[in-house]
Every structure is written in structure tokens, then in C-alpha cells.
Amino acid sequence: MSGKVEFQELDTHSGHRIGVVTLNATKSLNALDQAMIDALYQQLQGWEHDEGIVCVFLQGAGERGFCAGGDVRAIRESALKSDQAAVQAFFEQEYRLDYRIHVYSKPVICWGHGFVMGGGVGLMAGADFRVVTDTTVMAMPEITVGLYPDVGASWLLGHMPAKAGLFAALTACQLNAADAMYLGLGNRFIDHAFRHNVLDALQQADWQQDAYQVTYGVVQKYAEQSAGWLPYSKIREHRDLIKNMMEKPSLADIMSALEALETSDEWLNQARQTALNGSPLSVRLAFEQLRRARHCSLKEAFQSELTLSVNSVMQGDFCEGVRALLVDKDKQPDWRFKSLADIAQGATDSFFVSPWQTHPLADL
């Protein structure tokens, strides 16, 4: 077991147990490294076959957030050494973990307080009860580090209303609890102060009954007690404006609409600026991946993402993006292309070509 992820089994009054996962790498906002992913996968596999475990509760240590994403510094180090096998291993196992949560046979609660970004969204998305709180800040910020929204996001974002998923991909816009509920990233709003109450109630519940029904009853009780505290949703307020911009006939038209946007709304301006400052290559890849995956199953989305993620890290703007934002922190990335117009027709096609004869996730 990795020291950065802790596992606990809480006894219930009915003689069953609650499996509790705590991401515990608070200095990095609980960012996922390879050891954490491997430990999580193995533990979830074990609990799924343990008849005594009736429910799994995912949480992050500290008050700042559940999980701020993957350990992109470590991925960059592997890429700089041309170690494609290590890059592949990280993404492959991360996607296997995310997919397992989506298809898990026991109820999973994910407590998404504070920052829930990138890989944190990937963990949360498959949970039955995706709890957002008064402190939640969600985003898919990959565009800022030369990647694109992965961890199943090409499936998740494609199912959002009014083209909001494409907007989230291109702008890395920050989403509060109300935004997350509107977009389906969260499905229960509970005040963060109730976290321990929820865990206590799970222990006191009678698990002789259907596990999903029991979990629903506990979570719903505290969601109802938190009703009325939900913050204001910016993405819902600007739904029509976002839809009009994102429905333009081409990516160039969409980015032109963002560039031409004049607004006094600080949230919209931040989203606009992030889109315009992001990697043009990543903008193109994110747009194309969402287009290609719009009719994919979840399994097919993860398979296509593994291909694109490995190719993006090894050939794209990822190493430079992570350098500028997190290593040297000069925030002056030297992107491969200065603008979308510099990317020739077909220049990104190779990023979508699988480097493997047999796809590593063929057995998902």
C-alpha cells in the first residue's frame, strides 16, 4: 500500500464493513501518482470480492481538496527520458481504475470537497453518489499544460447540455457545486461539515437490506438537510451564450467567438483568457477528441484516450506546458504552434493513431 493513500474498514452495527479510501498527499493536493493508482485498484478489487464490504467511501485528506489531478511532473520526467512504457503504464492503470469505479458492483460515494480537477474528476465520475460541497471547485485544466481532458472526459463532456462540455474543455473554467450539479459531474450537494455525520450514519445503518438503497437513504438525508445552501451557477446563467459560441461551424469560428467576447463577468473573462493562452495544439486535440468520441461507449472513450494521451505526452506540448506552469513556474510556455492557423490540415492526425498492434485496454 502506498503511504499516500490510506485504507480503512469501518464496522457497522449490522456486522458489515464500510471501505474508506483516503488520498493522503496533501502537499500536492492529493495528486495521483503511479503507486497510489496501483494501490487503489488492488484495494477496490479486493473489496469488490469481499462479501463483508457493503459500500466504499472515497475522500481526500486535508481541507483543500479531494484530488487536484495526476502527478504530471512524474509523467513529464518519464517523457523527457523517452520512457514511453512508463507514460503508457501510468495512463493505462489510471484509466483501468476509473473504469472499474464506473462499473463497480457495490455503491461508491465520492466526497468531492475543495479542488477536484483532472484525475480527481476521473475518480469521482464513476461513483454512484458524487457529492459536491460548499467548498467544491471542479475543472478540467489540461489545456493549460499541453494535454486535453482525459480520464473519460471525452465521454463525460460529450453528454453535457448546451455544448457546456466543449466549453469546459477549451476554457478549463472553474465549476462550483451548482455548476457541477447542473452538468452531472455531481449528483448530491451536501455541506462539507456533514462529512463525519455521513460516515457515522453509514456505520449505524442496517445493511441487511439492499446496499444501494441503504446508501441512498443516508446520503439523501444529508442532501436534504443541505438544501437551500447550493451556490449560484455561472455556467447555468451563461448557458445560452456558451451554446451560441460553441455551436459555431468550426473550431476557428469558436475560438474567434471567444476572442471577440466582451463581458464584465469575471468568471467568463477568466475562462476566455485561459482558452486563448492555452496550447493551440491542445485546443485542436481536445476539440477533435470530443468530435471523434461523441458516439463512443465509455470503454471506447478510454481506449481512444490512451492512444491520444501517450502520443500527446511524447509528441505534443505536455512537457513544455508542465515546465512553464509547475517546474520553472515562469508561465511563459513556448507552444509548438503559436496559433490554430499555424496547424496545417491533417497535422494532428498522427496523434489519434494507436502505437500498438493490440490495444492495451482491449480487455476493459
The tens digit of pLDDT for each residue in 164-177 reads 999 999 999 999 99
360 domain-assigned: no
DSSP assignment letter at 189:
E
Neighbour-count burial of 281, counting CB atoms closer than 10 A to its CB (0-12 exposed, 13-18 middle, 19+ buried): buried
Count Cβ neighbours within 10 Å for each residue of 141-172 and write b for 16 or more, e otherwise: bbbbbbbbbbbbbbbbbbebebbbbbbbbbbb
162 domain-assigned: yes
CA 351 → CA 101, 282, 285, 308, 314, distances in Å?
27, 11, 8, 6, 10
223 domain-assigned: yes
CA 118 → CA 64, 138, 327, 355, distances in Å?
15, 8, 18, 24
- Averaged over 213-229, what is the pLDDT? 96
How would residue 3 be classed by pLDDT, with cut points 50, 70 and 90?
Answer: confident
Other beta carbons less than 10 A from residue 315's beta carbon: 15
In the predicted model, is pLDDT for residue 234 greater than 90?
yes
> CA dihedral defined by 231, 234, 237, 241, rounded to 10 degrees?
-170
In the predicted model, is pLDDT for residue 1 greater than 60?
no
The grid coordinates listed for 44 are 477496490
What total of structural domains would you count in the chain?
A: 1
Half-sphere exposure of 92 (CA within 13 A, CB side): 16
Residue 17's domain comprises 5-352
160 domain-assigned: yes
Cα 41 from chain centre: 17
In contact, 352 and 292? CB cutoff 8 Å:
yes
150 domain-assigned: yes
The set of residues, in sequence order, having a beta carbon less than 8 Å from that of 162 and lying 6+ positions away, is 239, 240, 242, 243, 246
Round the average pLDDT of the chain to a whole number and report it: 97
In contact, 340 and 255? CB cutoff 8 Å:
yes
135 domain-assigned: yes
- Averaged over 74-91, what is the pLDDT? 97
Tens-digit pLDDT profile for residues 305-348 = 999 999 999 999 999 999 999 999 999 999 999 999 999 989 99
Which CATH number characterizes residue 335's domain? 3.90.226.10
- Averaged over 225-245, what is the pLDDT? 95
362 domain-assigned: no
**Whether the predicted model's global pTM rises above the 0.85 cut:** yes
pLDDT at 2: 52
pLDDT at 162: 87
Residue 115 to residue 184: CA distance in whole angstroms: 17
363 domain-assigned: no
In the predicted model, is pLDDT for residue 362 greater than 70?
yes
- Averaged over 55-62, what is the pLDDT? 98
